[in-house]
Every structure is written in C-alpha cells, then in structure tokens.
Amino acid sequence: MATQNQYSMQDPLKQYPGPNFERQPQSPPGLAKDMNPRPDHGEQSYQGFGRLKGRRALITGADSGIGRAVAIAFAREGADLALNYLPSEEADAQEVRKLVADAGVNAVALPGDISDEAFCRELVTRTVSELGGIDILVNIAGKQTSVESIAELTTEQFEATFRTNVFAMFWLCKAALEHMPPGATIINTTSIQSYQPSASLLDYAPSKAAITAFTHALAKQVAPKGVRVNAVAPGPIWTPLQPSGGQPQEKIEVFGSEVPMKRPGQPAELAPIYVVLASQESSFVTGEVYGVTGGNPIT
Ligand code: NAD
Ligand code: MG
C-alpha cells in the first residue's frame, strides 16, 4: 500500500483501497505481512505530539492490525509499552518491536496466550515490574471464526471465543486495577457486531456485546477511583483477523462494501481514537463506546 498522509485534507473514500480484494486464506491467527494489500498501521505516517509521555501501557494483540497501529501511535506519543501477542506471531511482532524501538521508548515483548487466567495475571505483574507500573490497559486481542450454522458451532469454539474476548479482558482489568493510579485508563475493543450481529458470528457477536456491557459497568464501578474505562467499536477493518477465518473467502473479496464508505478501514484510522481515549484530553469521557465504522451506526 502506498504511503498515506493521515493529516492532509483529502477524499476519505479514495484514501485507501476498496473491493474487490483477492482471496487470501491464512490459518489463524494470520500474519499482516502475508496480506495483499498490506494493511496501513501508520508506519510511515503517524506523528506523535507527546500526549502519552511517560505513561506505561500494556497492549494485547500488539503484533498486527489495530493493536500494531496503537503500539506505533502510543510509542510516538511517548508511552513505554508492554506488547502481548501469540508466540506464533513473532514475525509480525519483530516488525512492531523495531518500529517502537525507533520511537525511542522503553518496550518489552511479553508473548503468550491470554485465554489462560494465570498468564493474564503474570502479564500484568511483568508489565508492572518491567515498566515500573501500569497507567493504560488496552485490550485489543480477539478471536473471530465464522461458522455458517449453529449445528456446526462447537462448544470448544464458543468457549475459546469467550475466553479470549471476554474472560481475558476481565482477568486483565482485575489485575491491572490493583496497580492503577487516578488518571489511568482502560480501553476495550468491541465491534459493530455488538450492535448489528452477523448470522455466521454466533459466538463472536455476543462476546462483543459482553465487552460493551462490561465497559459500561466497569466505568461506573471505578469512576470513584479516577480510572476511566471506554471502548472502541470498529466496523470492517483490513487486518489478518478477517482472511484467517473471521470471514469466508467470498466475503473477503467484497470486504467493506457493506458500509456507506464502500471500503474497509485501515488500522491507522483507529489509532488516533485510542490515543485520545488514553490521554488526559478525554478526561470527562468514561463508559463511552466510540464507533469507527465507515458509516454504519452503533445502535
Ligand atoms: P488482528 O488479527 O491483527 O489482531 C488480533 C490479535 O489478537 C492477534 O494479532 C493476536 O495477537 C491476538 N490474539 C488472538 N487470540 C489470542 C490469544 N489467545 N492470546 C493472545 N493474543 C491473542 O486483527 P484486528 O482486526 O486488529 O483485531 C483486533 C481487535 O479488533 C479484535 O478484538 C477484533 O475483534 C476487533 N475488531 C476487528 C474488526 C475487523 O474488521 N478487523 C472489526 C471489529 C472489531
Ligand atoms: Mg496478529
């Protein structure tokens, strides 16, 4: 994909590629480096303004997609980072580690499987010991596997989706809140699927609805501590989640055509929202869900 300038005024319909795309099956969790076209995570474009200077952030799903874009943006805004991803994604993670190191911040890679409660606790403990504390928790990792019929949807898949998308968020929030000072923020990643569920995402869509409700409830619970909790609800975004089983390949060909802007979003288009929700600029925003959908409302 050509280098994009995120800051100059331009027609957003033409800013990034739209359908048709090639079929490009990958096995989950998939790699950004094997996508065509390669997603734009803001590698060439994101400009930091010191908005997160000195903050310590744990980001899950940080190797690719939305998580990579957030890691790049947070690093360029001055945050020290703990980066979580699956060990099988090391090739993508290496690219992120280099980009983050180039930004001159302190970063530690903590690969591992967040569907395991003990690992989630360890992830927070290690973030605190390596970075000296935790001010921002960004839950971005997620599992999405399209299955046409309820008859073929297994208990194993249903449980794995909820463990990865919902339980891990609960375990990480619980552990992180023990260490978070006033001014700290949590950002969860829900989906348009929380509001407009697809027929083939019978486990994923309700897991995202759970994330939305958890965000609203936790925001109320921890407001008295001065900790804010928000969520981002993406629409179709060009990331490895989708061609690696998140959608059937025939839907990859027309991915993004269902939204008014007639193209998928790129991870780089989400990072600024996570930055503003993490920074003190959004000091009166909590319990909110911010849609980045290309025009389909989150209602
Ligand atoms: P992605 O594949 O780049 O990121 C998902 C990441 O989840 C993977 O990179 C992997 O590191 C992580 N992950 C999955 N299972 C894990 C596990 N058991 N342990 C640790 N990490 C694990 O795709 P993305 O689209 O950037 O996804 C990020 C988030 O955005 C997800 O929560 C997804 O549900 C959400 N989302 C994506 C879209 C979209 O269209 N791409 C739309 C709405 C919401
Ligand atoms: Mg990945």
Q: Residue 3 pLDDT more than 70?
A: no
Whole-model pTM over 0.95: yes
In this predicted model, what pLDDT tens digit does every residue of 98-117 receive, in sequence order? 999 999 999 999 999 999 99
The pLDDT value recorded for residue 4 is 67
Whether 27 contacts 240, CB under 8 Å: no
In this predicted model, what pLDDT tens digit does every residue of 119-148 receive, in sequence order? 999 999 999 999 999 999 999 999 999 999
Query: DSSP letters of 145-160?
Result: ---S-GGG--HHHHHH
> Which bin fits 188, alpha (ψ -120 to 50), beta or left (φ > 0)?
beta
CA 125/CA 156 separation, integer angstroms: 29
Whether 284 contacts 276, CB under 8 Å: no
| Least reliable range by pLDDT among 1-15, 174-188, 192-206, 265-279 | 1-15
Q: Residue 243 pLDDT more than 80?
A: yes
Q: What is the mean pLDDT of the chain?
A: 97
In this predicted model, what pLDDT tens digit does every residue of 269-280 receive, in sequence order? 999 999 999 999
CA–CA distances in Å: residue 168 to residues 160, 163, 172: 11, 6, 6
Hey, what CATH class is 43-292 in? alpha beta
Best residue among 26, 40, 58, 66 to mutate for probing ligand 1's pocket (most ligand atoms within 8 Å of CB) is: 66
Ligand 1 centroid–CA 242 distance in Å is 9
Provide mean pLDDT across the span 171-187.
99
Provide mean pLDDT across the span 82-90.
98
Active site residue 204: yes
Provide mean pLDDT across the span 74-97.
98
Provide mean pLDDT across the span 46-72.
98
CA 221/CA 30 separation, integer angstroms: 36
Q: Residue 2 pLDDT more than 70?
A: no
Q: Residue 71: which H helix or E strand, with range?
A: helix 65-76
Q: Whose CA is closest to 7, among 52, 46, 49, 48?
A: 46
Tell me the ligand closest to 141's alpha carbon: 1
Catalytic residue among 85, 204, 274, 290: 204
The owner of tokens 């989706």 is 161
Q: Whose CA is closest to 59, among 187, 216, 182?
A: 187
Tell me the ligand closest to 116's alpha carbon: 1
Q: Which residues lie closer than 8 Å to 294 by C-beta, 6 or more apart?
A: 235, 236, 256, 259, 260, 261, 262, 263, 264, 265
The pLDDT value recorded for residue 5 is 83
Q: For residue 57, list its beta bridge partners.
A: 81, 136
Angle between helices 155-162 and 204-222 (to 10 degrees): 30
CA angle in degrees (0–180, nearest 5) for 213-255-272? 55
Domain residue ranges in the chain? 43-292
Q: Residue 1 pLDDT more than 90?
A: no
Q: Residue 292 pLDDT more than 60?
A: yes
Q: Which atom of ligand 1 is nearest to the CA of 193?
A: 43
Ligand 1 centroid–CA 165 distance in Å is 9
What phi and psi values does residue 26 have, to the nearest 5 degrees? -135, 155
Residues with beta carbon inside 6 Å of ligand 1? 29-30, 60-61, 63-67, 85-86, 89, 113-115, 140-144, 164, 189, 191, 234, 236-237, 239-242
% of the chain at pLDDT higher than 70:
99
Provide mean pLDDT across the span 240-252.
97
